[in-house]
């Protein structure tokens, strides 16, 4: 109902504007814009308004759409006027694009139906081992504990005393307190993350992160309101080999992409061979 109402209001608006204009547009059609002898009609744009749009926003949407349409038609008119007939003959390009698009859509649908997305761990590990030289880190990664907490929080001193500990009991106590008291608490002890992600959380930059990580395991800074406590538990530096656990999704995507490519090649070969067996195509090239 809101869209109908918006279109109705815009219809009234357009009629008022058109009252002083006469461009001899076709009968029974309400023109919203004209460029030379080409018209944009209200019926052409009735579906551009989102559900629940306000009257003011409807008018803004209409104005923006019409302006874009006018600019496009003016450019098209100028192009058609200034290009040669040969330059304007884009039928082959359009057909090539249409053919490529249809083939692409068919291939994607075929892949959706045929692609086996289950990759055994053994296959992942084998690919990693055979290509380990390609998995060199371009930035340092860490396993770490990150806490952001109000400086005036009553648990702040207790958390500060615990976050450096490596004992299981202290970590359990820290978990219980930090989950309740901290503004943000992330315990990346079971997975690698780029150190840059932690640096983005800090109120001021670390000037030389590589050098810092070689000499420090703890970060304690504050911005006057919050304290930031970081315990770097493990580090793999830039230039070193990335662990498989960090490359898991990357490797999986590479292998899936190889499967996609194989499916497409097999599909092309099957279609070609079937067509040849049933004499569905011929080539007329004389051998010398």
Over the chain (288 residues), the average pLDDT of each successive run of 10 is: 46 45 59 91 85 83 92 94 91 94 97 97 97 96 96 95 93 93 91 95 93 95 96 96 97 98 97 94 78
| Tens digit of each residue's pLDDT (9 = 90 or more) over 131-141 | 999 999 999 99
Q: How far is CA 201 from CA 7, 72, 217, in A?
A: 47, 45, 17
Per-residue model confidence (pLDDT) at position 20: 42
**């859509």: which residue's tokens?**
105
Instruction: Give residue 59's pLDDT.
Output: 85
The predicted pLDDT at position 4 comes to 44
Q: Tell me the sheet residues that pair with 39.
A: 34
The pTM (predicted TM-score) of the whole model is 0.72
Angle made by CA atoms 23, 27, 31, in degrees to the nearest 5: 50
pLDDT value at position 225?
96
The dihedrals phi and psi of 53, each to the nearest 5 degrees, come to -70, 145
Extended strands (E) in the chain? 31-35, 38-41, 141-150, 184-194, 218-222, 226-236
Distance CA 213, CA 273 (A): 59
**Residue 39 contacts residue 29 (beta carbons within 8 Å):** yes
Give the whole-angstrom CA distance, residue 244 versus residue 242.
7
Distance, in Å, from the CA atom of 173 to the CA atom of 232, rounded to the nearest integer, reads: 19
SS3 241: strand
Q: How far is Cα 140 from Cα 181, in angstroms, rounded to an integer?
A: 30
Give the Cα separation of 153 and 77 in Å (integer): 68
What integer pLDDT is reported at residue 287 of this predicted model?
65
Q: For residue 136, what is the DSSP state?
A: B
Q: Is 190 helix (H, G, I), strand (E, B) or coil?
A: strand
Task: Identify the three-state secondary structure at position 228.
Answer: strand
| Cα(63)–Cα(49) distance, integer angstroms | 12
Task: Report the pLDDT value the prediction gives residue 288, as an integer from 0 to 100.
Answer: 60
Q: Render the burial of 124-139: b for 16+ CB within 10 Å, e for the rest.
A: beebbeeeeeebebee
Give all domains of the chain, ordered by start, each with its CATH number.
Answer: 2-85 (no CATH), 94-133+246-288 (no CATH), 137-236 (3.10.50)
């Amino acid at each position: 109902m809101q869209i109908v109402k918006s279109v109705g209001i815009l219809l009234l608006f357009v009629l008022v504007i058109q009252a002083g204009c006469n461009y001899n547009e076709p009968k029974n059609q309400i023109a919203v814009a004209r460029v030379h002898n080409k018209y944009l009609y209200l019926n052409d744009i009735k579906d551009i308004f989102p559900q629940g749009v306000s009257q003011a926003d409807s008018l803004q949407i209409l104005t923006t759409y019409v302006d874009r349409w006018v600019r496009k038609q003016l450019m098209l008119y100028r192009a058609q006027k200034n290009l040669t007939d040969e330059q304007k003959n884009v039928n082959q390009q359009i057909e090539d694009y249409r053919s490529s698009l249809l083939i692409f859509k068919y291939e994607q649908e075929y892949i959706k139906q045929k692609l086996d997305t289950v990759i055994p761990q053994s296959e992942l590990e084998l690919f990693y081992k055979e290509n380990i030289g390609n998995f060199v880190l371009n930035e340092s990664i860490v396993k770490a504990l990150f806490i952001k907490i109000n400086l005036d929080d009553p648990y702040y001193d207790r958390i500060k005393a615990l976050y450096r500990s490596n004992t299981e009991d202290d970590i359990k106590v820290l978990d219980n307190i930090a989950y309740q008291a901290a503004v943000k608490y992330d315990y990346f002890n079971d997975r690698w993350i780029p150190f840059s992600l932690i640096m983005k959380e800090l109120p001021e930059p670390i000037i030389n992160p590589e050098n810092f990580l070689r000499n420090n395991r703890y970060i304690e800074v504050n911005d006057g309101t919050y304290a930031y406590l970081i315990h770097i538990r493990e580090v793999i530096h830039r230039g070193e080999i990335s662990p498989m656990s960090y490359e898991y999704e990357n490797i999986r995507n590479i292998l899936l992409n190889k499967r996609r490519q194989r499916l497409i090649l097999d599909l092309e070969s099957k279609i070609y061979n079937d067509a040849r067996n049933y004499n569905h195509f011929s080539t007329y090239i004389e051998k010398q």
